[in-house]
Amino acid sequence: MTNLVTVGLQWGDEGKGKVVDCLAGGFDIVARFQGGSNAGHTVVVGDTTYKFRIMPSGVVQGKTAVIGNGVVVDLDVLIHEIEQLARSGIPVDLVLSERAHIITPLQIQVDGLIDEARGKNRVGTTRRGIGPTYGDKILRSGVRMIDLLNGDEDRWNAFFEYQRGRVERLFGSSVECHPHRTWLRLRQMAMTLRDSVADTGEFLVNATDSGKKVLFEGAQGTLLDIDHGTYPFVTSSNCVAAAASVGTGVPPSFLHDVLGVCKAYTTRVGAGPFPTELSDEMGEELRERGGERGTVTGRARRCGWLDLVALRYASRVNGVTALAVTKVDVLAGIRPLRVCVAYRINGEETTRFPADSRVLARVEPVLEDVEGWTPEEIEDWRSSSKAYDDLPGGLREYLALMAHHTRSRIALVSTGPARRDTVVVEGVLSSLTDASAL
């Protein structure tokens, strides 16, 4: 096995950045394939914390960074991250798709206008222009990297007028940016990146053929997927593993295995159904202990118990064969610790994940108590062997439950934000990739 796709199995923020950073050592290239700067991926190495919105997290390990055609790119954010990394002494070897769509200030403005206009039905987007940019892509009205490099201002002017019409006629607002100045700025930013621009499919296929290994880094999570998530409370891209192929231009056969990343509990930012949400003190406690605040918007994340129904659904959609479970330290000492094993809908129990968000909003979670583990047990384990088999018994049972419900195996367990707070199940990880992980 060579190439591996990592995907979030919940509503995002599962700890994908941390897991990708841990695994990247065994790969040559790390590739983002969807989403944009709505993502916020955190990597903690020693005393330094990196927060990436567009850059693949593998750059910290010095890996080649690929941003595929399926990503919507805010050039301001990308250039800012490249400069920040340079200041930290990390040069970036970037390959950016010529086909990637560009997020413009117009689409950022429209994102806010659309979500405001929804009133009480608002999605609570990150307001980074994601929905409008993907929308314009599908409407065949978008601006791509190649268009900026080709320097056709007439096409840009047509795009600007279409956006202006939408803002003025639909929302009664006026556009906040100037057509020519915005064009010059976007074009100038594109030109500074021109040496990095390529056909990412060609690049990745050639790299794989010459024995290089690619780690695909998902953003958002399966339950935010435009098709498979809790529509309409979703993002505007496919976040599932299959999107790694479409979103970079490699054939599906180049995706050799799928690692699902999930938290030991559940969180969600923004609006939408959340069956195991805890609106009480326990929810507040999880938020406090887990530092559950949005990386991009700073919003408080909603918190709840682990939802095994949703997790099984997400694992199936992605074809997950192994799990990376994060934030187990956050649950240490919580008693009783509960997990959701089924939903009750109109008095009937089911383990099926409903397609209708209105139904999902009404389900009653069927909760079971599990034994749990203590902070002392985690500390003892940390200061002694650090082997998977020596993890506290209650934690191992919890992980076994997750593996059972998702019909997969545990490959990695994260016990803290830093790289060193990670335990790898060697046999499982090496069956996904011959990477020596850490």
Q: Looking at 39-47, 126-134, 228-236, 384-392, which segment touches Mg ion (CB under 5 A)? A: 39-47
| Least CB distance to ligand IMO at residue 236 (A) | 6
Residues interacting with ligand GDP, by CB under 6 A?
8, 12-18, 40-42, 44, 291, 295, 326-327, 329-330, 414-417
Q: Looking at 32-40, 51-59, 188-196, 386-394, which segment touches Mg ion (CB under 5 A)? A: 32-40
CA distance 217 to 4: 9
Partner interacting with residue 131 (select from ligand IMO, ligand GDP, Mg ion, none; CB below 5-8 Å by kind): ligand IMO
| Least CB distance to ligand IMO at residue 111 (A) | 7
CA distance 282 to 266: 13
Give yes or no for residue 35 binding Mg ion (CB under 5 A). no
Partner interacting with residue 85 (select from ligand GDP, Mg ion, ligand IMO, none; CB below 5-8 Å by kind): none
Partner interacting with residue 327 (select from ligand GDP, ligand IMO, Mg ion, none; CB below 5-8 Å by kind): ligand GDP
Give yes or no for residue 13 binding Mg ion (CB under 5 A). yes
| Least CB distance to ligand GDP at residue 292 (A) | 8
Give yes or no for residue 40 binding Mg ion (CB under 5 A). yes
If the CB atoms of residues 115 and 421 are measured against ligand IMO, the closer one turns out to be 115
Residues interacting with ligand IMO, by CB under 6 A?
8, 11-13, 38-41, 123-126, 128, 130-131, 219-221, 224, 235-236, 269-270, 295
| Least CB distance to ligand IMO at residue 218 (A) | 8
Print the binding letters for residues 286-315 with Mg ion: x by CB under 5 A, - otherwise. ---------x--------------------
CA distance 153 to 183: 7
| Least CB distance to ligand GDP at residue 205 (A) | 27
If the CB atoms of residues 8 and 201 are measured against ligand GDP, the closer one turns out to be 8
Inter-helix orientation angle 75-87/179-192, to 10°: 40
Partner interacting with residue 247 (select from ligand GDP, Mg ion, ligand IMO, none; CB below 5-8 Å by kind): none
**Taken in order 167, 169, 172, 178, is the CA torsion positive or negative?**
positive
CA distance 123 to 38: 13
Partner interacting with residue 124 (select from ligand IMO, ligand GDP, Mg ion, none; CB below 5-8 Å by kind): ligand IMO
Neighbouring-strand partners of residue 51: 42
Partner interacting with residue 414 (select from ligand IMO, ligand GDP, Mg ion, none; CB below 5-8 Å by kind): ligand GDP
| Least CB distance to ligand GDP at residue 375 (A) | 12
Neighbouring-strand partners of residue 30: 65, 215
Partner interacting with residue 18 (select from Mg ion, ligand IMO, ligand GDP, none; CB below 5-8 Å by kind): ligand GDP
Cβ neighbors of 397 (< 8 A, separation 6 or more) are 370, 371
| Least CB distance to ligand IMO at residue 336 (A) | 28
If the CB atoms of residues 12 and 290 are measured against ligand IMO, the closer one turns out to be 12
If the CB atoms of residues 211 and 298 are measured against ligand GDP, the closer one turns out to be 298
Partner interacting with residue 135 (select from ligand GDP, ligand IMO, Mg ion, none; CB below 5-8 Å by kind): none
Output phi, psi for 293, to 5 deg: -135, 135
If the CB atoms of residues 26 and 221 are measured against ligand GDP, the closer one turns out to be 221
Residues noted as catalytic: 13, 41
| Least CB distance to ligand IMO at residue 206 (A) | 28
CA distance 179 to 156: 8
- Residues near Mg ion (CB under 5 A) are 13, 40, 295
